[in-house]
Amino acid sequence: MAHSHACDHDHDQRGLTGERLSGRLATAQARCEADGQRLTPPRRRVLELLLTAGQPVKAYDLIAAFGDGGAPAKPPTVYRALDFLAKQGFAHRIESLNAYIACGGGRDGHAAAFLICDCCGATREIAPTGAAEIERLAGAQGFSLTGLMVEAHGLCQDCRA
């Protein structure tokens, strides 16, 4: 599931492991239970793969990695899990990359912005400034937003160096 790096230098592992991974999965489980939802084993596995990757992952890479060395998952299983995770606010779809990334925080429908390195693929989620103004402008046009996501491409600090 590694990103195909266009750069010729090393980057640190960005994904979660150990207690941090277990904590995020437990938080997701508790939030699902509180919301009357189920974090089924396939949904949990896809979320785990996204969290350990720590960067955008294409659906077919998730399908291949799903079985952890065993048989890959069937595509509908992973796509349904991704749909659930996105609707519940645990994941985002990065349109420009046709990939998914674990949500850095917030709930479903929150405004999010992503800084995407065109060299190494490092992706950071930030809270966009001006989101309230965009919501106000949309409302003035009679438009009700269900979500707001901004994707910005450039070079990360490591790749610029």
Domains observed in the chain = 18-160 (1.10.10.10)
Strands (E), the chain: 91-94, 99-102, 111-117, 123-126, 148-154
3-state secondary structure of 125: strand
The pLDDT tens digits for 53-110 are 989 999 999 999 998 777 788 999 999 999 999 999 999 999 999 999 999 766 656 7
3-state secondary structure of 114: strand
Q: Assess contact for 48 and 21: CB atoms under 8 A.
A: yes
pTM of the full structure: 0.85
